[in-house]
Structure 1
Amino acid sequence: MNTVTKARYDGLADWYDDRFVVGAEPHQPGLLELLGQGSGPCLDIGCGTGRNFETIRASGREVIGTDFSADQLRLARGRTSGPLFVSDAAALPIADESFDTAMIMWIHTDVEDFDLVLREATRILRPGGVLVVYGVHPAFNGPHVIYNEDDSRTIHPTYRQGGWHEDSPAWGEDGIRRRVGMHHVPLAEYLNAFLATGLTLERFIEPERFGVPHALAVRATKPA
């Protein structure tokens, strides 16, 4: 899921799957609506252990998944008969204009260069193709955020400190960020990365699962 020599999620797949996938809501809020109905293969970039495969199939599409962690794909293979392969999201071994649909799910905080990942996803889309990006909200989730018991959040001035963070006082002792760190992308940089691709931005949603938005999702299309 990133460009380091060893995938950060290798060795964590079983823990991750038990905590975030098994028994979790299969259709993450708004994801199916953003995808819309379609056909043909959908490339799930950073597919992890396959949490999104059911949603892809529900949209009428076929699953093709890629992740930098072979350990994650080990479990993903139990959730699809479709092709899965290990790949850096910033250097996909896929020809230009090969897919009508692609997804980037929950990985902008795990990769070194989100701009490159978006450019790669744009490159492999055919004209008119759909890209859905779903991840933690850059403004309300990160090393600058303290989660409070009443579902409010305290935002610290460190919001503007983008880049890789190995530690934060906001992270719990047994959370994913304590284990793998986090690459923070401030909101303006996040949105400008989309504008640089030339994609047509069609819709943004802040899924209503928490009082303060936890996630930000985007649907975009490649101009014909």
Structure 2
Amino acid sequence: MGSALSRTNRGQRRADDLIQGMTQAAYDEIAEWYEHTFLADQHASAGGQGADPLGIRKALDVLLSEGHGPCLDIGCGTGVFAGQVRGLGWDPVGVDLSGQMLRYAVGRLPVARADGTALPIRDASMAAAVAVMVHTDMPDYPAVVGEVARVLRPGGRFVHVGVHPCFCGGFADRGDPDAVVIRPGYGEPHWTTASWTKRGLRDKVGASHLPLPELLRTFTENGLVLDDFMEGGGPTPTVFAVRAHRLPAATS
């Protein structure tokens, strides 16, 4: 039984590594398009650069809130949220696997090219961490959250802002702005290139899906305490956000 489980785990690890490599290559390939076209189109369709129709920036403002000290931006991409994190008083530091995306990020925050499942950061050195609209790019998100828990200081906060696992995925038809049709496929973790939007990102880079219970267990099973939640977008939520923290050190 033990050897069978070991083979299963090794097989899953190889599959995750393959997907991670494909995702990295895809983002390297589309970095220029992402920076100059995709983000510009998003701002235009949202009504301008300051608009926030999905509540992504609101969730980051409310759940991260003001603070100070180093804040790790996991999967920072081109550094699009660095200014907002800095505006809340934090010192953002970014990591991403895509070297081409980091070419744009380097002018916005200090960055390192790194795998989120093996962060080149010492234990208990980060006051906070954020992962904004990136967990679908990470086939082993539980391992990423485990690394977050390791590098957070006792009492440090972690803010996850991502697509809503119940209403966004290859199983969700969001073609009608007033309704979402959910097809079979929500209940099992999987990776897909099916896109739930018309903006053309997921069909380029793919997406990993975790059902809501598994997403929440990702935090608790890594020793983080859940503090608060938010949803954004409407009429059916598009965004689901979580704030958690690492327990303070025990006092005698």
| TM-score relative to the length of structure 2 | 0.81
C-alpha separation between the residues in 2 aligned to 1:32 and 1:20?
23
Q: Which residue of 2 aligns with 1:122?
A: 149
5+ residue gaps, structure 2: 1-15, 44-48
1:5 and 2:21 aligned: yes
Give, in angstroms, the shift of residue 115 of structure 1.
Answer: 0.6
Question: Which has the greater radius of gyration?
Answer: 2
Q: Which residue of 2 aligns with 1:223?
A: 247
**Cα RMSD between the aligned structures?**
1.9
Within-5 A mapping of 1:98-113: 98-113=125-140
C-alpha separation between the residues in 1 aligned to 2:78 and 2:85?
14
| TM-score relative to the length of structure 1 | 0.90
- Paired residue type of 1:205: M
Q: Which residue of 2 aligns with 1:68?
A: 97
Per-residue CA deviation, residues 24-74 of structure 1 (Å, 9 max, x unaligned), is 448712211111111111110100111111111111011211101011111
C-alpha separation between the residues in 1 aligned to 2:29 and 2:77?
13
Q: More helix per residue: 1 or 2? A: 2
Give, in angstroms, the shift of residue 5 of structure 1.
Answer: 3.5
Q: Which residue of 1 aligns with 2:69?
A: 40
Give the conservation status (yes or no) of the 8 Å contact 1:127–1:223: yes
Q: Residues 20 and 216 from structure 1, CA distance in 2 versus in 1: closer, same or farther, beyond 3 angstroms?
A: farther
C-alpha separation between the residues in 2 aligned to 1:148 and 1:5?
30
Q: Which residue of 2 aligns with 1:144?
A: 171
5+ residue gaps, structure 1: none
Q: Which residue of 2 aligns with 1:213?
A: 237
Q: Which residue of 1 aligns with 2:9?
A: none
Q: Percent identity?
A: 39
Equivalent residue of 1:109, what SS? helix
Equivalent residue of 2:222, what SS? coil
| Larger mean Cα displacement after TM superposition, 122-131 or 188-197 | 188-197
Give the conservation status (yes or no) of the 8 Å contact 2:71–2:127: yes
Q: Which residue of 1 aligns with 2:59?
A: 30
Count of residue correspondences: 218
1:134 and 2:134 aligned: no
